[in-house]
Structure 1
Amino acid sequence: MDDIVLRLLGPVELVHEGRSLDLGGPRQRVVLAMLGLNIKRTASTEQLIDAVWGDAPPTTARGQIQVAISTLRKQFARAGRPGAITTRAPGYMLDMDPGSVDSLEFDRLVARAREDTRADRIAEAAATLHQALELWRGPALDGVPNGPLQHAATHLNVTRLTVLEERVRLDLMLARHEEVCAELTALIGRHPLRERLYELLILALYRSGRQAEALEAFQRARKALAEEMGIEPGPELRDLAQAVLKQSPALDLPASSPEKGVALLPSGRSDTPDVHDGGFHLIPRQLPASIGDFTGRHSELDKIRDLLEPCSRTETPGYAVPIVDISGPGGVGKSALAVRAAYEVSKHFPDGLLYADLHTASGDGQIAALLARFLRALTIPAKAVPDDAQERAEMYRSRLAESRVLVVLDGVTSPEQVTPLLPGSATCAVIITSRARLAGVPGIRSIDLTVFDMANALDLLAGIIGRERVQAELDTAVELVNLCDALPLALRIAGARLASHPHWRVEWLVQRLRDERRRLDELSYRGLELRSTISLTYRALPPSAQRLFRLFSLVQAPASPAWVAAALLDCDFASAEDILDLLVEAQVMDTVQYPGSPRPCYRFHDLVRAYAREELCAAEPPEEQDAALARVLGGWLSLVEEAHREEYGGDYTIIHGSAQRWRLPESTDVEPVPQPMTWRSGERQALVTAVRQAAAAGMHELCWDLALSSVTLFEAKGYFDDWEETTRLAHEASARAGNRIGQAAMLYSLGTLHMFQTRMEQAEECFGTARQLFEAEGHDHGRALVLRNAAHLDSVRGDDTAMREKYDEALAITRLVGDRIGEAHIMRSLAGCWLASGNIERARTLLEQALTISREENCRRVQAQVLQRFAELHLAVEQPRQAQEALQEVLRIVRSSGDRIGEAYALYGLGAVRRQEKRLDSAADTLARALILSRQVGERVIEAKSRYALAEIALTRGDYELTATHLEAARDLFAELGSTSWLERTEDLMVEAGGPSAAWSDGAQPHRC
């Protein structure tokens, strides 16, 4: 255990050698709490921002999180743990011994107590729970502001109360009645509506010889519930009061063995065999053996026990048979859990355990045969079993009346299978396993079983092959778990293969499993086979769902919206969604709900995808596969085209190819994507994957068009990695196919990316080749787009003549081809040239024309850019109020569309306005925000200009050290950008501030004359 302890069970504290470290303000405590709740897991920056500020983070939120992390790292470093907080994309991870985090130590102790209780070690269990509860110093996360962390705090506090009740229950088993009475009275004062506390108090008072006080406690409970909730106490509390009134012997603690676990209201029922026809009969015990290396599933076992164990009481528990349905995909461990749970609750069902495997059962005949088997097991002679299925069901229910029998029905496929096999007596219970939820069975309680988490998966693997082998190749074992989708059956097969080959390294099996085409073959061993498990579900699907199951394996995106299914099947949206629901119900497809999305996305697990791919190759001709994939990719192209049109008012500032589109359904209830520039990360990943698939499939025309249309999103959001990957893929695909227009378009796009990232030489090279290709192919629009951006390079270098020539030529072409927004954009750029040369009126005329066009075409992006330039004009003629109004409008536009680069420009402009108004504090704050944002999105021009402006403010204030810091950074940036005019201005300011730039690097403070 570390000598540094994180305390979350009370006020958030970091304790080193018994001393609480200074964490600073509440922001650091929130960040530390989030990291502590995700120990050894990455907490994303977005999660931390949400925890600190909720729905209203400031624009500097990321920077402030970085400051908080830095402060916490210093405290850990002082405590001798400098590497405790590591940066892990997309956020940070706290690496501490779980035993050094009090909430995790609490969980460990509670789990240990649970195991002691199951083993009838009651005294040890009670002592452990006492130890666990002593870790609490107050409400969990006490003092943390309201927000997302409050959900975690509430969960911890509720768990604490539940554990406290269990500790009291164990104390009562150990005859500590008098000791707990005062404690329970105080707890009820804080939780006056919690019936379980009243039950414990009543029993403690009664066993202390205080019957009258016990009945008085019941009346207090009844009054509190009536006044606060308008309800009567539940049946458990009422039954307990009746037992106290009658002084039932069932309430007495057995004197013989206080260490043994007994129920609060023991049934008094004997577990000895029943007498039948003058002799003993064999009680049915039909459960198969429970697996010896059963792993995990503690919470599910607890829930099953909670649902079924009340059936052991002699008092009437109600009229409904308790039914638990364990549902989940094939291979997830439903049968193993059902059998283990049945054994754990079996002592409450002394009259028998019935078991049936229904995986292959179908039709009324097999159910009737199963009823006959159950009746014979329940001592009905074979000759007395009726021939009629309905009569068998009636006899079955009659035989189970007032009996305590547990029925386990494994592999149920429909509610119709279950109904005849349900007992009629509420003293019995039923455990069902099924792949789809059996919502059609009245009163059923569902438990959804999912794949293992990494810890349980590794535990299962270690139980099969030995912990030493897992630890020796831990990273490879983690990859093995991922290749098996953390599916227990797949892990069991992989573990069995490794166990039977002790000389194998885990890496050898992992190498085999990496090939998706062979993966299902490798996951087969001596009767254990994953393929047959998936096949069982697939064969039960209707033909339409089978076809979608096969075709969906074509899609390589992490998750896909529902319209993708419509494209694959080439059908309407409603039909596709209905078929998708069948796949989800059959547990062969998962849903993913992205925040803010009204509809879920859908995905396969990798092993299911591998099986679907096999079925696809066997059943679908290659031309059908190609056509289905082309429809999906054509659907993505339609989406990004529409997003571009919404952003630019039409097909402006872009060129398109001739690839076939697939138009999405026009139904008003379909919302396949959100607003144009608010694409969620899952959709963006799917879009990038679509470009990859188009390139791999040789669909070069669609590929380059999809990549170019996606730039609208990538540029606005600063997704430069996605931009570069998709552009290079599409360029390679176009080059292989000899598609010269595609090559030119991708070189133009790549050059634009280089330009954004200030790689000017590479940008110029790309633009030169793209221009030649467009000219050779006679593509005027493409040539105009290249000229427009190449002119920007000339402006950065200060070559005004070449810049104006290119802008003039591009402007003429855009007018000729009808690209009005391209025209407005060029006029806005030309206005900047005239503004820099002092020709204010010419610049104003161009800007007014550009603003008119952008408003007529409803292109708010270019409208914002024109208003930004207008603000520069207003500043040049000393009209700061008009400049500020223009920039405020720019901010409204860019923030509404999520254009973070545009926001950086607007903030820089506002900072310049406030500096001109001599509002230095406000100017410095705004420019600092512009600097932070520009660095986040990689906008180096604004980063450099913000540095320069901040240096001017620092110099005015006499802060020469800060002036030097900003000017040095600005000088380096302008030099990299090749911006000679700004570089000269920066060096001039450095001289003005007190000396040549070379003297600044040694840390000497400059002096002013």
Structure 2
Amino acid sequence: MEFRALQAESRAHLDAGKEHSALSLLKSAIVLWRGPVLADLTCQVWQPEIRRLEEEYFALREQCSNLQLRLGLYEEVITELFPFVAQYPLLERPRAQLMRALSESGRQADAFQLYQDTADLLDRELGVPPGEDLRRAFQLVLTSGGELRDTGARPPAASVPARSPGTVPDGPAPVRKGTAPTPENSTARIPSQLPGDVEEFAGREEEVAFLRTVLIPSGTTVPVAIVVGPGGTGKTTLAVHAAHQLRKVFTDGQLYVNLGGMSKSPVSAHEAVGRFLRELGLSGSAVPDSLDERAALLRSRLAGRRILLLLDNAGDARQITPLLPGSGSCAVLVTSRIRLTTVPNARILELDVLEPSQAGALLGRLVGEERLAAEPDVVSELLHYCGGLPLAVRIVGAKLVSRPHWPLRRAADRLADERRRLDELTHEGLEVRSTLELSHQGLSPRARRLFRRLALLGTADFAEWVCEPLLGEALWRAEDVLEELLDARLVDVVSPPGSSDVRYRLHDLVRLFAWECLADGEPNGERTEALRRATATALALTDLAHREVCGGDFTVVHALDVRLVTATDVLRYAIVDPLGWYEQNRTILTTLCAQAAEHDYDELAWDLAATARCLFSMRFHFDDWQRTHEVALAAVRRQGNRRGEAALLLGLGDMHLTRRHCHVAMPLLERSARLFAEVGERHGHALALRKAASADRLLGRAKKALTRWRECLPALVEAGDLEAQTQVLRWTSQTHLELGAYDEADVALREAERLAASFQGRSSAQVRLARADLTAVRGDLDRARELYASAWEATTHLGDLSGSCVAMLGLGTVDVRSGRTAQGRDHLEAARTLAHEIQDPLLELEVLLVLASAHRTEARLAEAEALLMEGAALCHRIGAPAQLMRFTAALAELSDYTSVARETR
């Protein structure tokens, strides 16, 4: 390996006395290591090799640090070993090297603290004291001669156990190695401005560890950590808690200021620097007037001193930049609702809501575990209403503490009503609403308008395309306004980085606040117009997704004014992955359809529901399918819209047909056909007839089905509906095939294949499946297998779950007939699982028949009988008499086969 060659070359240079070039080669070898060894391999066979490589890496790191120490490159050791020991916390030798580097750099306090932290870690994790390397390093720190005398530090008492060396001693602030104390430094006061820590702090262990690691001074640059999060997530509480844990590191004091960045009267940088200078001992007359002079003087006062600055509630980078020290001995901890990306050397910690376990731990610390244990079922309900927001949890906890006579159920019941929830989340000066108002009041008028109109969506998650119609502005302008909401942390990004369809979310409590803003600050006419635009845009995008899936504007009847959206920017969202777009946005489509229906935008509501029908059916989202159609149906009936009623009855009938509830579907489809005929809608009438014919076929009325398909075909040709024509011809072919009329089946299928070749839609794969079925029946099993495999790839690519199930069933059937029974059973089990997932009992019945045949072939007669009995019971349950006859015949045949087998034995 290359790193081994570099290591060998380094040894040669070291033997030749070329220490600096040897160090350079070692560093080149270390650079080759990126992340954990073979991190993607989980196989246990490789674990010994992984461990051996890790040991080589550890040895390489140790050699490099030893050589740096020999050369006096202490700052390099500190800079490189701090992240290394954080990654491998239980390795003692690199910690010993780091202690030595800190001591040699004049940072005995940090060396002491590192030893103490290590001793605590080993005790907590392993129950052992520090090893010999660490103890020897600690003794070197204790006996470091003149440097210890310079700092005034004292070693811990001899009676203290070796693994608990004590704390950093009291006394004057350390004077850095090589610098003499100045009169200013020797007389400067030690500030201690941190607010008090909270005893009930819970959770956030990883975040605290991150801040403790990041804020340890380790070089010439000033470490800066910025805690960013929405209002109420506990940024200040976390920052104060972490700062208190770092008091032993920053022995020269801690400065604190609440900058009030989101308030109406924020503290200016000019004022904040002046406060710090006065706290550091300057009289008021000695503080300069100009900001630049104040900032320069502050840097001078902080130089060489170990001081932590906590800048709370920063509004922007300009507010904190003048407060930054120039000395790497200090550190800065900032909290803000805004991502301050221009602050030098900053490490940003994004703070989200608490996990349920963390929120539960916080509530338990506040209320008492015994009280929670008395009503465990209510605890999760309370936490749900708080949405993981620490402020909300604290308010609920404080209110329960102040009302010890309340059962938890009373608090939960009061929070259950969304209209009153924000009223309930207030107690003795703590209030979620006022916290959110701080973020809201800093928004521009356009951002406020978008924020409140987001409540119209009725859902927490949304995509950026909705911002265009909600604002009534071009998409790029609306996106800029959305970014303002992101900066204010009223909206969060929830999609993975680099996602093509970026998703956003309003926290539930933020959504309730937005709804209050909408009710208070939006005229009803403007609100309903924004809703109309949003629904129209959703319709245009849904129509585009439908066209991409079906290959054109097929199998759907639209409202008269369907093309209401003239803007084209937003239409790019559904092109690349139409089904993916639909999956991400179906909740918004459903809620917008419901709201449009509620506001009597009946044409929009029924068109959106009807256009989404194809997408609902592809993904078997029956709940959304039914809800959209039923609410839109109520709206069109209120308006006397018979054409819309016909379209929605068609959709509801199709839904029940897809679920194989044929007796429920048939009257809906026949009513739809009659209404379409009455309003003179020939295309809609033909679409309803073709679905009614499908129900006839499933009910065993094959001849009536063929008659209806012949009747509807001319109107479909007249409408130019290629998808519907192809489906009718394919179903006609399938029915002839089931009747044993193979030549008639072939004629209809050839015409379907000709049409399917003329457009890009899902019918192409479905026609291929029909050809595979006919080919298999005629005995060409190898060709049929090729067609099924090709159809499987095509349907999987399209996301056609039903087609994929049929293809897998076909592969299993061909395998069983070809004598590949074991492979066939695998395919059939996969098809059975998929049929169950998509809730298609008829497909499941077909799979059960073939699977029973496979078990019979392998003399698994009991398994075959169990499958046939299961299928017969399913036939009774769904009302499928034709299928029941097939299962009854198969059971009788199996019984005869079993009897013959017994007699033969």
TM-score normalised according to structure 2 size: 0.79
Q: Deviations over 1:96-155 (max 9, x none)?
A: xxxxxxxxxxxxxxxxxxxxxxxxxxxxxxxxxxxxxxxxxxx999994399x99xx99x
Structure 1 residues 716 and 876, CA gap change in structure 2 (3 angstroms): same
Match of 1:145 in 2: 43
Q: 1:659 to 1:800 in 2, by over 3 A?
A: same
Q: How far off is 1:792 after superposition?
A: 2.0
Letter in 2 for 1:821: E
SS at match of 2:257: strand
What secondary structure sits across from 1:331 in the alignment? coil
Counterparts in 2 of 1:376 and 1:262: CA distance versus 1, 3 Å: farther
Distance in 1 (alpha carbons) for counterparts of 2:102 and 2:364: 49
The correspondence for 1:897, drawn from 798, 823, 834, is: 798
Matches within 5 A, 1:547-946: 547-593=449-495, 597-658=499-560, 663=565, 666=568, 670-672=572-574, 674-679=576-581, 681-859=583-761, 861-946=762-847
Decide which moves more: 679-688 or 499-508.
679-688
**Contact preservation (8 Å) 1:652, 1:822:** yes
| Change in CA separation of 1:204 and 1:625 when aligned onto 2, cut-off 3 Å | closer
Aligned 1:259-278 pairs, distance under 5 A: 259=161, 270=172
- The separation in 2 between residues aligned to 1:373 and 1:142, in whole angstroms, is 53
CA distance in 2 between counterparts of 1:458 and 1:504 reads 18
Q: Offset at 1:788?
A: 1.0
- Does 1:296 pair with 2:203? yes
In 1, the alpha carbon distance for the partners of 2:143 and 2:253 equals 33
Task: Say whether the 8 Å CA contact 2:865–2:891 is kept in structure 1.
Answer: yes
Name the aligned partner's letter for residue 862 of structure 1.
S
1:306 to 184, 188, 213: 213
Name the count of aligned residue pairs.
795
Aligned residue identity for 1:556? G
- In the alignment, which of 192, 213, 221 is matched to residue 285 of structure 1? 192
Q: Residue 93 of structure 2 aligns with which residue? A: 197
Counterpart Cα distance in 2 of 1:871 and 1:524:
67
Q: Does 1:341 align with 2:237?
A: no
Tell me how far 1:602 sits from its aligned partner. Answer: 0.8
CA distance in structure 1 between the aligned counterparts of 2:701 and 2:808, rounded to whole angstroms: 28
How far is the alpha carbon of 1:990 from its aligned partner? 2.6
Q: Deviations over 1:385-439 (max 9, x none)?
A: 2333332333222222223322222111111111222223222222211111221
Between the aligned partners of 1:297 and 1:620, the Cα distance in structure 2 is 39
Residues 617 and 659 from structure 1, CA distance in 2 versus in 1: closer, same or farther, beyond 3 angstroms? farther
Structure 1 residues 874 and 624: CA distance shift in structure 2, 3 A? same
More moved, 891-900 vs 665-674: 665-674
Instruction: Please show how residues 8-157 of structure 1 align to structure 2 within 5 Å.
Output: 144-145=42-43
Aligned partner letter, 1:145 = C
Structure 1 pair 594–814 and aligned structure 2 pair: CA distance change class (3 A): farther
Report the secondary structure of 1:857's partner residue.
coil
Deviation string, structure 1 residues 479-522 (Cα, Å, up to 9, x no partner): 22221222122222222222222222222232232232322222
Verify the 8 A CA contact 2:269 2:318 in the aligned structure 1.
no
Once the 2 structures are TM-superposed, how far is the Cα of residue 280 of structure 1 from its aligned partner? 7.5
Partner of 2:757, secondary structure, is helix
**Aligned partner of 2:348: which letter?**
S
CA distance in 1, matches of 2:185, 2:699: 109
Note if contact 1:349-1:404 (Cα within 8 Å) is conserved in structure 2: yes
1:606 Cα offset (Å): 1.5
Aligned pair partner of 1:421 in 306, 312, 323 = 323
The residue aligned with 1:131 is: none
1:569: how far off? 1.4
CA contact (8 A) 1:563 1:672 kept: no
Amino acid at match of 1:732: A
CA contact (8 A) 1:199 1:240 kept: no
Q: Quick check: 1:632–1:662 contact (8 Å CA) kept in 2?
A: no
Q: Sort the Cα spacing of 1:954 and 1:527 in 2 relative to 1 into closer, same or farther, 3 A.
A: closer
Residue 289 of structure 2 corresponds to residue 393 of structure 1: no
Cα 1:594/1:775, change in 2 over 3 Å? farther
Cα distance in 2 for residues equivalent to 1:488 and 1:925: 50
Q: Give me the whole-angstrom Cα distance separating, in 2, the residues matched to 1:567 and 1:977.
A: 45
Query: 1:1005, 1:306 → 2: CA distance?
Result: 76
User: 3-state SS of the aligned residue for 1:810?
Assistant: helix
Label 1:1006 to 1:832 Cα distance change in 2 as closer, same or farther (>3 A): farther
* 1:358-387 Cα deviation digits (max 9, x unpaired): 106889994333333322222222232233
Letter in 1 for 2:706: R
Q: Match for 2:240: what amino acid? A: V
Provide the C-alpha distance between the structure 1 equivalents of 2:313 and 2:456, rounded to a whole number of angstroms. 30
CA contact (8 A) 2:562 2:607 kept: no
- Residue 604 of structure 1 deviates from its aligned partner by 0.6
Deviation, structure 1 residue 856: 0.6
Structure 2's unaligned 5+ residue stretches are 1-36, 63-83, 104-133, 176-180
Give the 3 Å change call, closer, same or farther, for CA 265–318 of structure 1 in structure 2. Answer: farther
Shift of 1:778: 2.4
8 Å contact kept, 2:173–2:305 = no
Structure 1 residues 965 and 327: alpha-carbon distance in aligned structure 2, compared to 1, 3 A threshold: same
1:773 shift after superposition: 2.2
1:319 aligns with 2:217: no
**Shift of the alpha carbon at 1:876?**
3.5
Deviation sequence 1:683-711 (CA, Å, 0-9, x none)? 33333333333333333322222222222
| Distance in structure 1 (CA, Å) of the matches to 2:546 and 2:300 | 70
| Offset at residue 294 of structure 1 (A) | 2.3
Query: Kindly tell me: are residues 952 and 519 of structure 1, through their superposed partners in 2, closer, same or farther at Cα, counting changes over 3 Å?
Result: closer
Q: Secondary structure at the match of 1:348?
A: coil
> Distance in 1 between the 2:809 and 2:305 partners?
80
User: Helix, strand or coil for the counterpart of 2:313?
Assistant: strand
The code of the aligned residue for 2:347 comes to R
State how 1:438-457 maps to structure 2 within 5 Å. Answer: 438-457=340-359
> Which stretch shows the higher mean deviation, 557-566 or 681-690?
681-690
SS at match of 1:560: strand
User: Structure 1 residues 712-721 or 275-284, which shifts more?
Assistant: 275-284
Give the structure 1 partner of residue 231 of structure 2: 330
CA contact (8 A) 1:994 1:1007 kept: no
Alpha-carbon separation, structure 2, partners of 1:631 and 1:882: 52
Q: Is the 8 A contact 2:338 2:487 kept in 1?
A: yes
3-state DSSP of counterpart to 2:393: helix
SS in 2 for 1:577: helix
Give the drift of 1:272: 11
TM-aligned CA deviation for residue 255 of structure 1: 4.4
1:27 alignment counterpart: none
Partners in 2 of 1:487 and 1:350 — Cα distance? 34
1:514 matched to 2:410? The reply is: no
- Structure 1 range deviating more: 561-570 or 344-353: 344-353
Residue 341 of structure 1 aligns with an amino acid whose one-letter code is A
Deviation per CA, 1:67-90, whole angstroms, max 9, x where unpaired? xxxxxxxxxxxxxxxxxxxxxxxx
User: Is the contact made by 1:867 and 1:886 (CA closer than 8 Å) also made in structure 2?
Assistant: yes
In structure 1, distance between residues paired with 2:264 and 2:163: 43
